[in-house]
Amino acid sequence: MSDAPPAEKKKRSWKRLAVEIAVVIAIFFGIRAWQTRDAPTGPAPELRGLDLEGTELALEAAPGEPVLVHFWATWCGVCEAENGTIEGLAEDHRVITVAAQSGPPSQVAAYLAERDLDFPVVNDPRSTLAHRWGVHAYPTTFVVDGDGRIRHTEVGYSTSWGLRARLWLASF
């Protein structure tokens, strides 16, 4: 048994809880830093390619209009879970998605049709664009402001609210 009075035990338990919370936060931010280690900052890399219908899509600065650039893959379960969020954002924001390592355009188009999805997609079967943007994990989402600068980078699942907030912040 401990000889410490109850007040002293309670004080130690709060300190221990604070340390444990600090460790969890440090781990979270460490993982996030590792996941985005090669992600560009500042001016966005060039993003130009053909959509699934063969029309050129390009990321070009539109003054005051932020753009969501979303890298995903048809084989990615987290991407599948996030598809509805991206679809909803594409209805009222400028969105460009890049399907990496997902096969030929016909295969990506079939995937979208099966799920009734309709957002702009550049097919990137060899991950050329993904590598240029420093993408190591899917999904990875960038918010680019109206001046063509990357304002936010998210790796993994993001909520609609979170992405909308980042788009809103990038408009200032």
* DSSP secondary structure of 17-64: HHHHHHHHHHHHHHHHHHHTTT---EEPPP-EEEBTTS-EEE---BTT
Task: Give pLDDT, residue 61.
Answer: 61
Average predicted confidence (pLDDT) for the chain: 90
Which CATH number covers residue 53?
Answer: 3.40.30.10
Residue 115 lies in a domain: yes
Residue 163 lies in a domain: yes
Residue 91: phi, psi to the nearest 5?
-70, -30
Task: Give pLDDT, residue 21.
Answer: 87
Residue 25 lies in a domain: no
Residue 50 lies in a domain: yes
> By residue range, what is the domain housing residue 59?
42-170
Residue 3 lies in a domain: no
Residue 62 lies in a domain: yes
pLDDT bucket at 9, cuts 50 / 70 / 90: low
66 and 146 Cβ atoms separated by less than 8 Å: yes
Lowest mean pLDDT among 1-15, 61-75, 81-95, 156-170: 1-15
Residue 10 has pLDDT above 80, yes or no: no
Residue 91 has pLDDT above 80, yes or no: yes
Residue 94 lies in a domain: yes
Residue 8 lies in a domain: no
pLDDT bucket at 22, cuts 50 / 70 / 90: confident
Residue 7 has pLDDT above 90, yes or no: no
Q: How many separate domains does the chain show?
A: 1
143's CB contacts (< 8 A; 6+ apart) are 66, 67, 68, 69, 150, 151, 152, 153, 163, 166, 167, 169, 170
pLDDT in tens, 111-154: 999 999 999 999 999 999 999 999 989 999 999 999 999 999 99
